[in-house]
Structure 1
């Protein structure tokens, strides 16, 4: 019952937390942090430059709710900072992605082919999925190239989406990119869970539904203790959107019944 009430509050009753994100941006600016995208941070590292200054890497996974994704982008433009936005096929908005890219932030792919393939083909066995990984990787390449063609930009980083199917299979979508030939073919320089990011940042923080909000610490607390912060946020945790949340919840229920 507590889990249900927390989900109800998170999806439909939680006050907007956009001011919390704005307060973080302002606090980081005052503290002298460069606020940047995954792509730009990785490019610095790949170029042989190990940044010694304070860095806050902003990553947004757009699981749902394009309305709030737009608000996050507009807010960050107000403060002239950069970040990364990763879109699923179900949240793909090429017009918004082009605006993000033209501004100087990053818009790329939040991929989930492994989970999608398992659900579509009613596969619940981990070994079966691993045997069919070549098919899954081919599907990833088709989707990746389709997005690049529509966007008119080269994508160099991608982010794995986490799905209930991944938890049941105990197999992450990152398995799709555990293939250097595929990465080379697509020109992918970094997956957002790659070691290059964890090795060159002091702390990785992810937002969580209330009442926790962040794990392992709040970003504001991290500003007081760490020089290189890697922060993952989701529109759904910033602001409630009844329509988007209801649609997603119903889709998740349907997939659970039919898988």
Structure 2
């Protein structure tokens, strides 16, 4: 876990490094819709699990650089006012669904819940892509609600942030997927090696070693001040302990 990393200063340097090195940015929707992509490029998605105000600040930081990204809101973080503001800044807004977990693995009930929540979101935003919320304390996985009988196309959606985005560290035609989960990018890329910190990722961009990237950036993990930095690190430490405990319980059961 990188204690001093994941500040807004680091994020701004990452965005600026990408722009300085000729990267094009895509939202998830645009990436899925396009049959060809500029090279190099970065697609960025944000899972707004908490800290909505930080998400709004991050959206403004990107908009100042004319960078479009995607923000996935949960029902607990969805606010018509915030969503409208994020969309007005030029970003995509999507649904960060957790209906299968909330329905305790009941497929039929999860789709009823999903349809209801998606309709509510669409009253305030144009939602064309979705992304599952991870629930480590549950034995269920939200992606499992999509079976042969239940398609995302049934909901007039362009795609799903995992199912519709093919990634690979070894296939240059596909983007490499990196996540800030655990306060560590925790990825090894051909030609550059291990990436742990945001500075490592910046070095990779400057070295022209990764021409296609798909980044998961949790706004709630990034801090705007020293006080927030201390709070974020403490939260992430506690969250990692909880995830480890949950995995142990699920393994035993």
TM tier relative to shorter chain: 0.7 to 0.9
The verdict on how the C-alpha distance between 1:42 and 1:94 changes in structure 2, with shifts beyond 3 A counting, is same
**Aligned pair partner of 1:161 in 102, 112, 133:** 133
Would you tell me which structure has more helix in proportion to its own residues?
A: 1
Q: How many residues align?
A: 217
Alignment-derived partner of residue 49 in structure 2: 63
Q: Provide the C-alpha distance between the structure 2 equivalents of 1:176 and 1:83, rounded to a whole number of angstroms.
A: 26
TM-score (norm 1): 0.74
Deviation at 1:104, TM superposition (A): 2.1
Deviation at 1:83, TM superposition (A): 0.3
Alignment-derived partner of residue 139 in structure 1: 113
Gaps of at least 5 residues in structure 2 are 188-194, 247-253
Gaps of at least 5 residues in structure 1 are 1-5, 119-128
Question: Can you list the C-alpha shifts for 1:197-256, whole angstroms capped at 9, x where unaligned?
Answer: 32653310000334xx2121243244231111000011222123859x87xx89xx9xx9
Deviation at 1:18, TM superposition (A): 0.3
Q: Is 1:37–1:82's contact at 8 Å kept on the other side of the alignment? A: yes
Q: Provide the C-alpha distance between the structure 1 equivalents of 2:153 and 2:181, rounded to a whole number of angstroms.
A: 34
Question: Can you list the C-alpha shifts for 1:105-142, whole angstroms capped at 9, x where unaligned?
Answer: 10111111122222xxxxxxxxxx3xx21111111111
Q: Is 2:42–2:213's contact at 8 Å kept on the other side of the alignment? A: yes
Alignment-derived partner of residue 185 in structure 2: 214
Q: Provide the C-alpha distance between the structure 2 equivalents of 1:110 and 1:179, rounded to a whole number of angstroms.
A: 21
Alignment-derived partner of residue 84 in structure 2: 98
Secondary structure in 1 matching 2:137: helix
**Aligned pair partner of 2:216 in 232, 250, 257:** 232
Q: Is 1:222–1:229's contact at 8 Å kept on the other side of the alignment? A: no
